[in-house]
Amino acid sequence: MSHGMRVKNMIKCILKTSDLIKERQTELLDIGFVPTMGNLHQGHISLLHEALKEFKTVYFSIFVNPKQFGPSEDFNRYPRTLERDIELIENTLIHFPDSKVIIYAPENPDEVFPKDRHQVISVNGLSTVLEGKIRPGHFDGVATVVYRLFDIIKPSKAYFGLKDYQQYLVIKQMVNDLALPIKIQGMPIIREIEGLALSSRNQYLTAEQKSTSLLLFNTLSIIKNIIDQKRVNIPKANSFITETLKDPNWNYLEIRDSETFSEDISHSKNITILAVYQMGSTRLLDNMQVEVQ
């Protein structure tokens, strides 16, 4: 795909930011936006589906953002499957014959981050705990790229999967802090039948690792069942967590307030159990929401 864009079934794939900005200037109506790193699965497609239900035109970015990978992380190994991704988008669009999807797929990071722009967006507090503590700078990389994409694409609504729950809160906080006129829509986690949350990194797992990985979903389910929507059961859940964390493969397993992300959940109405389990070289991330009374 050497040329700058291609059109098929009301899909345009644009590689250059200057072309994207020109395209965007032709849009008169509000647009929805789905930012991704590509290597799409049904989780991403569920976001696209929701966006197409609400908007005639959806912008969809496929960009492996170098700024959100640490020095020892899998940036070069991260799967890039543009042709297949476009096919999945085309298949989704069949159900929306009057709609169009503009895919922004810059291959060169300089398209997104011009050499003379050194802007970093940092969301204080949220960015340095849990996932942010283990991956310093990660959420700055996420916030910076999402801000840049928002700036280029100017959507009125953007869709994020709730699997990356902390990321979702970081983006919401950023939009709030900077008073951006964009609604952030969190979308439910899509899972395999056994419960494993869909992730582009799951393909790194061997068959054996894959069956072991259900430990993550099962542990979250057990904690959710222990709490059973009752605040009085939280201490019992915490004892179970303490016991579980004796397995050193847990990067973390914690309960936080779903709105504030505070560890103090004594008055929380909604809480989120968040976890990362290390499976070989792959970190499996998941969470579960619980309402409490």
44 among known catalytic residues: yes
In angstroms, how far is CA 49 from the centroid of its own chain?
Answer: 16
| Ranges of H-type helices in the chain | 17-25, 42-54, 82-93, 109-112, 131-134, 138-153, 165-177, 207-212, 214-227, 234-244
| Nearest one of 22, 13, 28 to 63, comparing CA atoms | 13
- Neighbouring residues of 291: CB distance < 8 A, sequence distance ≥ 6: 229, 269, 270
Q: Please measure the distance between the N-terminal and C-terminal CA atoms of the chain and give it in whole angstroms.
A: 55
* Catalytic residue selected from 3, 41, 44, 138: 44
The CA distance from 151 to 95, in Å, is: 29
Query: Which tokens hold the place of 177?
Result: 């802090």
Query: Which tokens hold the place of 270?
Result: 């909604």
Active-site residue list: 44
